[in-house]
Amino acid sequence: MFQSITAQELHDKMENQEVYILDVRAASAYNDWKISGNHIISANVQTSKLKEFGPEAFVEIPKDREIIVTCAKGNASKEATEILNNHGYQAINLIGGMQAWSEFYYAVPVVESADLELLQVIRPAKGCLSYMIISDGEATVVDPARDHQYYINLAKEKGVHITHVLDTHCHADHISGGSNLAIDTGAKYWVAESEMPDAKISFHPLKEGMTLQIGHSTLEVIAIPTPGHTPGSTSFFINKEFLLSGDTVFVSGLGRPDLGGKAREWAKLLYQTVVEQLNKIPDDVLILPAHYSDHTEIKSAGFVGALLGEIRKDNHLLRDQIMEDDFAKAVTVNLGLTPPNYETIVLVNRGLTMVDDQEASDLEIGPNRCAVKHLA
């Protein structure tokens, strides 16, 4: 019987040691999206090639160290693991393959104080970030991913009750867990009304300047319209120290404005957001986005985020007095590939299309593609 490893166990290994991963998917799938990290070395050899030529034909596969084998859903990698072990290699199969890795989440603290605990929930395969804000026994969740049970379990672990669930916008790269989380916890689900045309799910409309109180504390969560990535994108200011920026501004770029088919129009909205909102925010505010593009954006403290002043230094679109037309051109020529299945995902997030768990998982497969890379 060959050995196997879960996504959680793989993550734990990645935190503490160098890990070698053999991905046996097609080269195109591997090049598009793979497991990455500071301690990851990976190679791509298909199971069919291992069978035809034997693993010894591929010098990139080491015989003197542990090999984690992955594929799309764990089946081809199971066969590849057996082949490798039969040839004297130390191979371990990743249970569920890339699908399981896509659905793995973990939480890290951003702030831990007497009045506020702010947790960032990282979904490393998708580059998705969500947040749990805790104060005085109550919690607010921002941009929850599809597995809403994860947040319920996290709240139980922390001994708190979820009272509010917020989405910064109608997500296009992953299915939101916001509505289901609110239903299962009795919380209120909030999102901007303009994000949900003809929606068949219940929500409370976010309003500019709306303040949420968490528990009996003085913690403030203020809704600030930041249109551009979508017309109704909303960021949340926490105690004037932290900005949960959704897909408006990232550590390494800005949110892409093209997913509604109105790239130039929405790029101009993003420009107004930069001029009228972001330019008024002090340099010492910590930006906490809804996505990250690369594992190098994870700080030594374990979370993704940066002071706005640091982001401005690296991103001329936030730093320079750029004209509107030049800005619009800059953010519409660096878009890259669109998120896979984004049109269907938007319909699901508005309750206009129903999918089962397997269909939902398949829709979400692939990397984060919501950011416009900055130009220094």
Question: Do residues 310 and 332 make contact, with C-beta atoms less than 8 angstroms apart?
Answer: no
170 is catalytic: no
Degrees, nearest 5: CA angle 164-222-327:
120
DSSP structural state of residue 91: E
Q: How far apart are CA 211 and CA 225, in angstroms?
A: 13
The beta-strand segments (E) located in the chain are: 3-5, 19-23, 40-44, 66-70, 90-94, 106-112, 117-123, 128-135, 138-142, 161-166, 188-191, 204-205, 211-213, 220-225, 234-238, 242-246, 253-255, 286-289, 306-307, 371-373
DSSP-derived secondary structure for 54-87: -GGG-TTS-SSSEEEEE-SSSSHHHHHHHHHHHT
Q: How far apart are CA 311 and CA 157, in angstroms?
A: 34
Q: How far apart are CA 297 and CA 292, in angstroms?
A: 7
Catalytic residue among 71, 128, 170, 370: 71
**Where in the sequence numbering do the catalytic residues fall?**
71
